[in-house]
Structure 1
Amino acid sequence: MPIPEFILRTRAKIGTDLMWIPAVAAIVLRDSTDSSAWAVPEVLLVKRADNGEWTPVTGICDPGEEPHHAAEREILEETRVQARAVALLGVGATGQVTHANGDQATYMSVQLRCEPVDPFAEPAVGDDESVDVGWFPISQMPVTDPKWRLVIADAAAQRRHPADFEPRLGLKKR
């Protein structure tokens, strides 16, 4: 479902006014299926139905839902891949967005690195939010938006060196 029911009910009351929305970005990584020494991790991506862009799985948290549960739910709904959240990459607010229908929103984005339960799972489009889905080597991914390229790079860095990882989004070490 593209817009959660609770958002539709709230929008019926407030119209297109600015709304604060809790959201997740799930960066699902797996080891490459390429056995060469130069292989890089692969990332699970969806091609969005609304704008044709390739992105990680994203979604809105339901009321009372933990962000890691929302990420796992969204991954399964959108790609039919069962995954588990394993690391927090960052938490921060997005700038104000005005959607095509006029709805205004600012998102509190919780970015999580996830891993598939079955690393050989073949994804499939699971809902009408996406038109395609697939695994891509991070060195050859079709993602063009710089913000998504950065968070995918952060996920790969956190996976490789968890003790040295410092998020770019949200609170920084002092």
Structure 2
Amino acid sequence: MPTPEFILELRKHVGNAPLWVPGVTAIVLKEVPADAPIWQVPEVLLVKRADNGQWTPVTGIVDPGEEPHVAAVREVKEETGVDVTPVALLGVGQVGPVEYPNGDVTNYVDTAMRCSLVDGGNQDPFVADAESSHVGFFPISQLPPMQPRFRLIIADAAAQLKHPGGFRPRMGYSKRN
């Protein structure tokens, strides 16, 4: 999905000036079965962005009046065709500033969450919109190159999955608080 209409309307008034925009990052993990070999690790759903060729988890903008967890479910479905349910808050942090080729500047207040696959994970992801050129599951031990904050959040998702009672959501993406 291209830039949401509400952002385009705001840009008519503020031009390229910095905007604070609510965002979500959905870390979709395919869990390891209990009887799997000890060396098997969870797999994470990633998309290769069509605009810059970077691999990322599913990310998106929260629409006005939309809850972040609802936006995460929507974004995963829109980008990969996969149905998920949010299961854990991983953290909240600031991302940016991001300057786009047209000169727009945006800072994101990002809510990251771990999501699980609906129906036991028997869904095959596919490129469901023009935002991505590829989608797929990757073992968390064999991730393609990506921004450090995404590796950090994926590691948090794996830690939360393994030890949910002892996990504390991250407050900011630059350090553990």
TM-score (normalised: structure 1): 0.93
Q: Distance in 2 between matches of 1:124 and 1:68?
A: 21
Q: Distance in 2 between matches of 1:146 and 1:92?
A: 14
- Between stretches 102-111 and 162-171, larger displacement belongs to 162-171
Q: Distance in 1 between matches of 2:145 and 2:159?
A: 17
Task: Determine helix, strand or coil for the equivalent of 2:126.
Answer: coil
Task: Report 1:64-143 matches (<5 A).
Answer: 64-118=65-119, 119-143=121-145
Q: Distance in 2 between matches of 1:136 and 1:67?
A: 25
Q: Contact (CA 8 Å) 2:93, 2:110: kept in 1 or not?
A: yes
* Structure 1 residues 60-83: Cα deviation after superposition (integer angstroms, max 9, x where no partner): 000000000000000000000000
Q: Contact (CA 8 Å) 1:93, 1:109: kept in 2 or not?
A: yes
Task: Report 1:48-59 matches (<5 A).
Answer: 48-59=49-60
* Structure 1 residues 129-169: Cα deviation after superposition (integer angstroms, max 9, x where no partner): 00000011101121422111110000000111011112333
Task: Report 1:28-43 matches (<5 A).
Answer: 28-32=28-32, 35-43=36-44
- Give the equivalent residue in structure 2 for 1:19: 19
* Structure 1 residues 15-72: Cα deviation after superposition (integer angstroms, max 9, x where no partner): 1111010000000001248943310000000000011111000000000000000000
Q: Distance in 1 between matches of 2:65 and 2:145?
A: 31
Q: Contact (CA 8 Å) 1:32, 1:137: kept in 2 or not?
A: no
Task: Determine helix, strand or coil for the equivalent of 1:2.
Answer: coil
Query: Structure 1: which amino acid aligns with 2:140?
Result: I
- Give the equivalent residue in structure 1 for 2:162: 160
In the alignment of these two chains, the number of paired residues is 174
- Give the equivalent residue in structure 1 for 2:4: 4
RMSD (Å) for aligned C-alpha atoms? 2.0
Shift of the alpha carbon at 1:173? 9.5
Task: Determine helix, strand or coil for the equivalent of 1:94.
Answer: strand
Q: Contact (CA 8 Å) 2:19, 2:106: kept in 1 or not?
A: yes
Query: Structure 2: which amino acid aligns with 1:92?
Result: G
